[in-house]
Structure 1
Amino acid sequence: MSDALIAWGGWEGHEPEKCATIVEGILKEEGLSVDVENGAQAFANPELKNYDLIVPMITQDEIEKDTVLNLVSAVESGVGLAGFHGGMGDSFRSAVQYQFMVGGQWVSHPGNIIDYKVNVTRPDDPIMEGISDFDYHSEQYYMHVDPSNEVLAETTFSGEHAYWIEGTKMPVVWKRKYGKARVFYSALGHVAAEFDVPEMKTILRRGMMWAKR
Structure 2
Amino acid sequence: MTKSALIFWGGWDGHEPEACTQRLAAMLREDGFDVETHQGTEILTSTDLTRFDLIVPMMTQVQVAPEGLKALIAAVAAGTGLGGFHGGMGDTFRAEPYYQYMTGGQWVAHPGNFIDYRVNVTGGDDPIMAGIEDFDYHSEQYYLHVDPAIEVLATTTFDGAHDPWIKGVVMPVFWKKHYGAARVFYSALGHNAAELDHPQMQTILRRGLAWAAR
Distance in 2, matches of 1:2 and 1:196, equals 23
Distance in 1, matches of 2:151 and 2:130, equals 15
Partner SS for 1:155: strand
Distance in 2, matches of 1:19 and 1:123, equals 27
Distance in 1, matches of 2:129 and 2:181, equals 23
The share of aligned pairs that are identical, in percent, is 60
Counterpart residue number, 1:183: 184
Distance in 2, matches of 1:44 and 1:170, equals 34
Counterpart residue number, 2:145: 144
After TM superposition, where is structure 1 displaced by more than 6 Å over at least 4 residues in a row? none
Residue 199 of structure 1, CA deviation: 0.5
Q: Does the 8 A contact of 1:120 with 1:153 survive in 2? A: yes
Within-5 A mapping of 1:26-175 = 26-175=27-176
Residue 46 of structure 1, CA deviation: 4.0
The one-letter amino acid paired with 1:121 is: T
Residue 44 of structure 1, CA deviation: 1.8
Residue 65 of structure 1, CA deviation: 1.0
Distance in 1, matches of 2:47 and 2:32, equals 25
Partner SS for 2:148: coil
Distance in 1, matches of 2:75 and 2:110, equals 31
Q: Does the 8 A contact of 1:40 with 1:58 survive in 2? A: no
Distance in 2, matches of 1:181 and 1:2, equals 15
The one-letter amino acid paired with 1:88 is: M
Residue 196 of structure 1, CA deviation: 2.2
Summarize deviations over 1:63-94 as a string: whole Å, max 9, x none: 01111011000000000000000000000111
Q: Does the 8 A contact of 1:46 with 1:70 survive in 2? A: no
Residue 2 of structure 1, CA deviation: 7.3
Partner SS for 2:94: coil
Distance in 2, matches of 1:155 and 1:42, equals 35
Distance in 1, matches of 2:69 and 2:84, equals 16
Counterpart residue number, 2:7: 6
Q: Does the 8 A contact of 1:80 with 1:212 survive in 2? A: yes
Partner SS for 1:3: strand
Distance in 1, matches of 2:3 and 2:197, equals 27
What are the ranges of 5 or more consecutive residues in structure 2 without an aligned counterpart?
A: none
Asked if 1:19 is matched to 2:13, the reply is no
Distance in 2, matches of 1:83 and 1:11, equals 16
Distance in 2, matches of 1:140 and 1:202, equals 19
Distance in 2, matches of 1:114 and 1:102, equals 25
Q: Does the 8 A contact of 1:53 with 1:80 survive in 2? A: yes
Partner SS for 2:132: coil
Summarize deviations over 1:115-172 as a string: whole Å, max 9, x none: 0000000111100011000000000000000000000000000001110000000000
Which is further off, 19-28 or 42-51? 42-51
Backbone CA RMSD of aligned residues? 1.1
Distance in 2, matches of 1:120 and 1:45, equals 40
Q: Does the 8 A contact of 1:2 with 1:35 survive in 2? A: no
The one-letter amino acid paired with 2:21 is: A
State the TM-score, normalizing by the size of structure 1. 0.98
Distance in 2, matches of 1:182 and 1:189, equals 20
State the TM-score, normalizing by the size of structure 2. 0.98
Distance in 2, matches of 1:2 and 1:45, equals 20
Partner SS for 2:176: strand
What are the ranges of 5 or more consecutive residues in structure 1 without an aligned counterpart?
A: none
